Amino acid sequence: MRREGKSDTTQRFLDALETEIREHPALHHPFLRRFAQGGHRRLQHWAFGLQHYQLVRVFTSYLEALLKSIPQPVVRDWIHRVLEDEYARPRSFDRSHSALYRKFLRALGLTEEDWDRAEALPETQAFIDLHIELTSLRHYLVGLGAVGPGHEWAIPTMFTYLVDGLRKVGVEEEALEYFTLHVAQDVEHGRLLRLAMARYAETPENQQRILEGARASLDARARFWDGLHRAVFQDLAVA
């Protein structure tokens, strides 16, 4: 990522944070490694697809909440650019990230009725509840840590595992656009959010807030993968 900021101290903090994110267990979770091997059956990738959709459909609400609390206009603009990409504005509603994910679900053979009635696993619901809290009820730098390092820095690595596994079970490339787009696009999003954090990360207090959000987000992500590992590779293994 491009290194911009106000001090060497800030940049050292952000560099160390990037290293910590890359080494977090959530990014190379056993679920991801096993999923990447392929061999899972239709019911198993249905279970994955429907649970992950619970996260996809609410992600923009975290960004919307965070925008309301960021004090600097230039930082709000950077976050707003990420949000506009999520909505695919000003291009087309059917290119929004949620719409692309529903295209993926349809390619798996699922329908609107399936994803509307899907019940979230406890780990899935806990992930959503935590991120609503982090981005709307906590200090804005906690929320920034959650959506920046916790999401945009981490997703390209995690999604690469998912794409590998889905290709191996024959999902067509066009249906994988939600995932492949994020692998590429979140590099730029991560750069913008690094610029945002560099505006605030000069004091130990602010650094700790960013760390708090990033670690809480990724710990919750690891628990989400735990829940999927149980559901996909244990509960459904012989279904």
- Does residue 1 register a pLDDT over 50? no
Convert the pLDDT of each residue in 100-149 to its tens digit: 999 999 999 999 999 999 999 999 999 999 999 999 999 999 999 999 99
Lowest mean pLDDT among 6-10, 83-87, 88-92, 97-101: 88-92
pLDDT score at 165: 96
Residues 6+ apart with CB under 8 A from 129: none
Tell me the pLDDT tens digit for each residue of 3-32: 444 588 899 999 999 999 999 999 999 999
The CATH number of the structural domain formed by 41-235 is: 1.20.910.10
pLDDT at residue 127, as a whole number: 98
pLDDT surpasses 90 at 238: no
What is the Cα gyration radius of the chain?
A: 18
**Cα–Cα distances in angstroms (integers) from residue 18 to residues 5, 129, 130, 169, 182, in the given order:** 15, 25, 22, 32, 18
pLDDT, tens digit, for every residue of 143-195?
999 999 999 899 999 999 999 999 999 999 999 999 998 887 767 888 889 99
The answer on pLDDT for 210 being more than 90 is: yes
Which residues have a Cβ under 8 Å from the Cβ of 237 and sit 6 or more positions away? 44
Categorize the per-residue pLDDT at 85 as very low, low, confident or very high, splitting at 50, 70 and 90.
Answer: confident
The pLDDT, as a whole number, for residue 102 is 95
Flag whether the pTM goes above 0.85. Answer: yes
Residue 92: what pLDDT? 57
Neighbours of 19 (CB within 10 A): 10
Phi, psi of 5 (to 5 degrees): 170, -175
pLDDT in the model for residue 2: 42
